[in-house]
Amino acid sequence: MSRPYGILAVVGGLALATLLLAQTVGFAVVGWWPAPPAPTMLATEAIAALAGDAPPAPGLRVWSQADAPDGTPAPWLADLAAHRLQRPATQVRAVWRQAPEVTIQVVDAGQLAAAGQTDALRQASVRAALTTAGLRLPAFELAVARPDGTWRVVGTADPGRGQWRLQVLLALALAALLIAPMTWWLARRLTLPLRRLADASAQMDLGTRAHPVPVEGAREVRVLGQAIADAHLRLRAQADDVTAMLAAVAHDLRTPLTGLRLRAESASSPDRERMVADIERMQAMIAQVLAYAQGEIAPLQREPVDLVALAHELATSARSQGQHVRVQGDTQATLQGDALALRRALSNLIDNAVRYASAVEVLIHESDGRLRIDVADRGPGIPAAARARLVQPFQRMEHSRNRETGGAGLGLAVARSVAERHGGMLELHEREGGGLLARMVLPLTEQPHL
């Protein structure tokens, strides 16, 4: 038996493992994947986009805002843009998106003068350097004032966030891929015992003897399964006590009924015939109750039983009483069972059929290690909604509550109980063409029972 575990511990462990695994995968992906490079821009492309001469180059975007952009000024970029756009320097502004990590220096006027260069030459040299093909600068924002007081700004479209998004999505996908099998395994381990417990509970009734309640899984599920198993045992014990009491009462009623019959024999006609008929019917009902109670209490006495021979014997007995019963099946069908209980069950099915129909067919054949016994008639049948009720003790159809067909409502219940105690089942079906088909399915090998 596996060691008990609590649902709280499993759920908490799963949550902790999921968190740790997700964080580990995230850190691994982010640490393994190099950081996105800092975005760069070409001054000529930014100025062209700001002028509106052409659509913005890939990686650039143009927008409008009310104020000039803030940031670390880049005056020589602003000077180049003002010169290219032919706008006053006061209407052009250039700022860095982030302060450059390297120092960008421009030769000052004193140095140029010492080298014999004038201011005009200095500005021309700077502008030529900034427009050199392939010279990429750290991301900046370049803006020019509009007549309405707003600013037209150009900058980078994505300052490196796209790669970070890709890394995060990859980390999430890998974490989900690794966590899914563990989550499925833990969820199955938690739910499978509950499903088995639900299946066992659905098949449970006071007559079931071969379906123990599973006590497995998490600690809380084990407690629930054990509680259901204990409740089932208590109900079974109470049902056995009631059955034993019923058998005792039925047995004790035989003696006074025998005395009543002796006194009824001395009565005058026609009262004598009616009294004797009523007493005989009461005796038959008591005999059915006693047989049902004894069959529920007494253990099975297993021995080889030939069901085909038993069916032919019961059919011969029925034909001797003027009933039409025909048996079809294999020459021999032997199983390990209680001969008396199987006789009682098959006899009840045949008697129940001949009570409502003029002819009965008993079909017996073996298939897949199971023996199927069909008792078919052409009577009124049983509605589908009433079949489950009528296999319970003391249940009858309304049209059977008369002197000719009335009984104790135990015929089908006895057959069902005998079939289940042998590891089989009793099924009621509508016969094709009209009538009822009572099918008793029995395993050919001995089945465990409680």
Confidence (pTM): 0.47
- At 134 the pLDDT is 67
Q: Which helix (H) or strand (E) holds 367?
A: strand 359-367
- At 114 the pLDDT is 46
Cα(154)–Cα(50) distance, integer angstroms: 6
Question: H helices then E strands: how many in the chain?
Answer: 12, 14
- The DSSP 8-state label assigned to residue 394 in this structure reads T
How is 177-207 classified by DSSP, letter by letter? Answer: HHHHHHHHHHHHHHHHHHHHHHHHHHT--TT
- At 66 the pLDDT is 92
Q: Could you list the beta-strand ranges (E) of 66-205.
A: 72-73, 92-96, 136-138, 140-145, 151-156
- At 356 the pLDDT is 83
Exposed, middle or buried: residue 22 (CB in 10 Å: 0-12, 13-18, 19+)? middle
Exposed, middle or buried: residue 366 (CB in 10 Å: 0-12, 13-18, 19+)? middle
Locate 316 and state its tokens: 């011969």
In single-letter form, the type of residue at position 435 comes to G
Domains of the chain and CATH, by start? 7-35+163-200 (no CATH), 40-159 (no CATH), 204-298 (1.10.287.130), 300-450 (3.30.565.10)
- The DSSP 8-state label assigned to residue 99 in this structure reads -
- At 449 the pLDDT is 47
- The DSSP 8-state label assigned to residue 444 in this structure reads S
**C-alpha distances in angstroms, 163 versus 12, 32, 158, 168, 171?**
34, 13, 10, 9, 12
Question: How many C-beta neighbours within 10 Å does residue 249 have?
Answer: 13
- The DSSP 8-state label assigned to residue 403 in this structure reads T
In single-letter form, the type of residue at position 414 comes to V
Residue 427 pairs in a beta bridge with 439
Question: How many C-beta neighbours within 10 Å does residue 34 have?
Answer: 8
Residue where the block lists tokens 């008793």: 440
Q: Which helix (H) or strand (E) holds 290?
A: helix 271-297
Residue where the block lists tokens 């069902």: 416
Contacts of 411 (CB under 8 A, 6+ apart): 288, 348, 349, 351, 352
Q: What parts of the chain have a pLDDT lower than 70?
A: 1-5, 8, 29-38, 99-134, 158-165, 167, 205-211, 243, 246, 251, 288, 290-298, 330, 393-394, 396-409, 446-450
- At 115 the pLDDT is 46
Cα(306)–Cα(333) distance, integer angstroms: 5
Instruction: Indicate the pairing of strand 324-329 with strand 92-96.
Output: unpaired
- At 403 the pLDDT is 45
Q: Which helix (H) or strand (E) holds 437?
A: strand 436-443
Residue 92 pairs in a beta bridge with 144
Q: Which helix (H) or strand (E) holds 9?
A: helix 7-32
Contacts of 293 (CB under 8 A, 6+ apart): 243, 244, 246, 247, 250
